[in-house]
Amino acid sequence: MEPVIRIENLQKAFHEGRALIWAVNGVSLDIYPGEAVGLVGESGCGKTTTARCLLRLLEPTKGRVLFQGTDLTALKSRQMRTQRRHLQMVFQDPNSSLNPRFSIRRTLAEPLHLHGLGSGKTAQARLEETMTRVNLEPQMLGRYPHQLSGGQKQRVGIARAIITEPRFVALDEPTSSLDMSIRIQVLSLLQRLQQQLGMAYLFISHDLSAVRFLCSRIFVMYLGRVIEAGPADEIFDHPTHPYTQALLSAIPIPDPKTRRTRILLEGEPPSLFNLPKGCGFYDRCRNRKPSCALEPPALRDAGGGHFVACGE
């Protein structure tokens, strides 16, 4: 099976005065049709920048992004516009991603208009069907964002993303601003929509329990690089990279009788202005060797589709 999304050696640098900040530094991954892939890591590691470069909301500095074999990074703006129907994004904060002056009807009708997907009664039927799909009453189409709860606003954001029936959706922390009970409802909704519409997801989240619930594979990022990747159960049950082990040890356990050793990392990540020559995790790693400081380790096959960038 061919991947719906293929990222090859993606790099993104930002200018800060005369200096360069390498927010993404050589990310490669595949996402297959109907698959949900998790992208995890601490704040500032490059997750959101990777997603925005994938959709060309930001222009990559180097590398390629292929959608169903088409190199998106080689397309001109007009050519890219025709692809956007199939590539959508749900943003983290619905309060800033929804136009407060647009009714829900106008918010959802805008993509249909831009991509020529219907008007009149056809568009109205599609609007009502999409509202029902995200568990919102069609009667709410006349409301404005300020008249909705946080969970309802995020459902509108999801509705806007799926109304064009895309092949791929990037989800940037879509549940982080929601209460726990609403968070569970939204995750179940995303899972159901994926099964119904056959979409592929890139799910970015700090909530590792949510990632395990929704995703079949996980990529762990640190300092702009993928340092571990594999099936979700393999990553959670047999984490190999010291950073992944520390990340998973921080997941809260609902049972107060269960005890787990928390791995506390020393120090801070290196400055993006001055990336180290070797492994970016070297100064914080309890298993470091002198050779780790010389060059960044490449992803090696640990078996079973599990890859890790560590010399251990």
Written in H, E and C, the secondary structure of the chain is CCCCEEEEEEEEEEEECCEEEEEEEEEEEEECCCCEEEEECCCCCCHHHHHHHHCCCCCCCEEEEEECCEEHHHCCHHHHHHHHHHEEEECCCHHHHCCCCCCHHHHHHHHHHHCCCCCHHHHHHHHHHHHHHCCCCHHHHHCCHHHCCHHHHHHHHHHHHHCCCCCEEEEECCCCCCCHHHHHHHHHHHHHHHHHHCCEEEEECCCHHHHHHHCCEEEEEECCEEEEEEEHHHHHHCCCCHHHHHHHHCCCCCCCCCCCCCCCCCCCCCCCCCCCCCCCCHHHCCCCCHHHHCCCCCCEEEECCEEECCCC
Query: Which residue from 197, 133, 127 is spatially nearest to 166, judged by alpha carbons?
Result: 197
pLDDT in tens, the chain (312 residues): 899 999 999 999 998 888 889 999 999 999 999 999 999 998 889 999 999 999 999 999 999 999 999 999 999 999 999 999 999 999 988 888 999 999 999 999 999 998 888 778 889 999 999 999 999 999 999 999 999 998 999 999 999 999 999 999 999 999 887 888 888 999 999 999 999 999 999 999 988 989 999 999 999 999 999 999 999 999 999 999 999 999 998 877 776 666 667 787 877 888 888 888 888 888 888 888 888 888 888 899 988 999 999 866
Whether the model pTM is above 0.85: yes
Domain range summary for the chain, segments of one domain joined by +: 242-312
Query: What are the Cα distances from residue 61, in Å, to 32, 53, 153?
Result: 24, 9, 33
